[in-house]
Structure 1
Amino acid sequence: MRTINISLPDPLKTFVDQQVAERGYASVSEYVSELIEKDLAVQRLRGLLLEGARSAPMGVVDATYFAELRARVRCRDVTG
């Protein structure tokens, strides 16, 4: 694992220390790591949404579509 140093203004450092203490993080590193992981997840989701927005429409998304989707997922869960 690599180490980086981050300089923060006093108000931000105070905020980070409060988050670590109040939210049960083991360390500032754990808090910052979680923030970065959440940001990565947001970026992945944004990319998927943009990809979907650029794709051609696939048809009607209605109750039947979702019923069939649930059935496919259930089948996958059973068959592994």
Structure 2
Amino acid sequence: MARQSISFTKPNDEWLKTQVDSNEYSSKSELINDLIRQARKQQAQIDWIRAKLDKAENSGFTNDSKNEILAKSKSLLNG
């Protein structure tokens, strides 16, 4: 595992200490790694949505009503 040295502002350091002190995490490193995992997951979701939006924008127009589009979307979500 790579070892890094980083600096935090006082409010951020206090928040990190609070999280560790409340036994949410065993160390600041564990907490930082979890925050990075969450950010990476969020970025992956944003990238997925962007790709879907790009595909939709490039697919052209539809004559379907908004209710038809909503029904199709719900059926896709529900499998």
- TM-score normalized with structure 1 length: 0.69
Judged with a 3 Å threshold, the aligned counterparts in structure 2 of structure 1 residues 63 and 49 are, in CA distance, closer, same or farther, namely closer
CA distance in 1: counterparts of 2:11 and 2:46, whole angstroms: 30
Q: CA deviation at 1:24?
A: 1.9
Which stretch shifts more, 11-20 or 28-37?
11-20
CA distance in 2: counterparts of 1:49 and 1:19, whole angstroms: 31
- RMSD of equivalent CA atoms: 2.8
Unaligned runs of 5+ in 2: none
Q: CA deviation at 1:9?
A: 2.1
How many equivalent residue pairs?
70
Superimposed CA distance per residue, residues 17-72 of structure 1 (whole angstroms, 9 cap, x where no aligned partner) = 00122252011000000000000011100000000001135x845269627x53xx
Judged with a 3 Å threshold, the aligned counterparts in structure 2 of structure 1 residues 48 and 23 are, in CA distance, closer, same or farther, namely farther
CA distance in 2: counterparts of 1:55 and 1:63, whole angstroms: 16
Unaligned runs of 5+ in 1: 71-80
Q: CA deviation at 1:10?
A: 2.1
- TM-score normalized with structure 2 length: 0.70
